[in-house]
Amino acid sequence: MPLKDNTYNERVYSESVTIASGQTAGSVLDTQGACLVGLVTPAAMTGTSLVFNVGNSAAAMFPLHDRFNARVTLPIATGEARAYALDPAIFVGYQFVQVVSASSEGAARTLQLQMIGL
């Protein structure tokens, strides 16, 4: 996907990932050298938090932890769509990202991942 320039001359764009009905793990996103900086959830989410798997190969994904060995967890609200800012420093070293819900989703959920080209 070609990167888009915004008014600040930063290359920002959005990619969709889907968590299938009855599943916790979303589709794996190839960042193609970009970095995850934000996430938008739909209004209806079953899980109340998200965690992330990352890797430099789609076949070898690992749970993402911070430098204090804590699982990177994003508490989310259910009942309304929301945008969440993410710290790009924790995602910059990985080509592949996967969003994982804390609960099996009651229907297919599409999330928008906000990316910035490096």
Q: Note the pLDDT tens digit of each residue in 33-65.
A: 899 999 999 999 999 999 999 999 999 999 999
Percent of the chain with pLDDT over 70: 92
Q: What is the pTM of this model?
A: 0.87
Residue 47 neighbours by CB distance under 10 Å? 19
Q: Which residues of 84-104 are buried (b: 16+ CB within 10 A; e: fewer)?
A: eebeeebbeebebbbbbbbee
Which CATH number describes the domain made up of 12-117?
2.60.120.260
What pLDDT shows up at residue 21? 98
| Cα angle 11, 55, 118; round to 5 | 20
